[in-house]
Amino acid sequence: MEIAEVRGDVARHSPALRLLHWLVAALVFVTWPLGLMIGFVKDDVKLDFYLVHESFGFLILWVMLVRLGVRLTADSPAIQGPAIERAAASSVHGLLYLFLVLMPVTGFLATNAHGFPLKWFGLFTVWSPLGKAPDLAWALSAIHEWSAWILLALFALHIGAALFHHLVRRDGTLYRIL
């Protein structure tokens, strides 16, 4: 088990968890806007946008699975504060993990159900358990799209809480992940 670092009076997450946190954040801040832009690009480049969006999404899935493994095996500092804040923080974190896995899975399966196998960054085709399934494709696409908006709301809550702790409370909460 990797022990969380303590600096001053603030216990930090393990270096591996901090790295994975910021890697996922960076990947999402690239992938989410690409997905949103697909509806606005010309048809001659639309497939290129899909390829990059889907490839980054698939990468997020695997990084999140590694992150879950690290989270389950590394000691993490306890969340500080009143019980209601600890419950809210735990709920938002749990939902972030859930949607950061659900989104790429539903996107990957929707792509395949629409009849387009994932060609990861154009390098190789990723096997899918689904073949072309138009009736299922639309449901998976809807779950994927709704999940994107839910994830955006969760990110806003997460970032808002981090900034609140840093700028208003001036406690070490933000430093735990830096």
Q: What share of the chain is helix, strand, coil (3-state, %, to 5)?
A: 70, 5, 25
Helices (H) and strands (E) in the chain, counts: 4, 4
Residue 6 pLDDT: 52
Cα 170 to Cα 36, 120, 163, 166, 173: the distances in Å are 35, 43, 9, 5, 8
Residue 5 pLDDT: 55
- Picking from 141, 138, 68, the residue whose alpha carbon sits closest to that of residue 103 is 141
CA distance 80 to 127: 43
Domain boundaries, the chain: 8-176
Residue 92 pLDDT: 97
| Alpha-carbon 79 to chain mean position | 21
Residue stretches of the chain with pLDDT short of 50: 1-3
Residue 170, judged by CB atoms within 10 A of its CB (0-12, 13-18, 19+), counts as: exposed
pTM attached to this predicted model: 0.91
Model pLDDT for residues 50-99, shown as the tens digit of each residue: 999 999 999 999 999 999 999 999 888 888 889 999 999 999 999 999 99
CA distance 47 to 39: 11
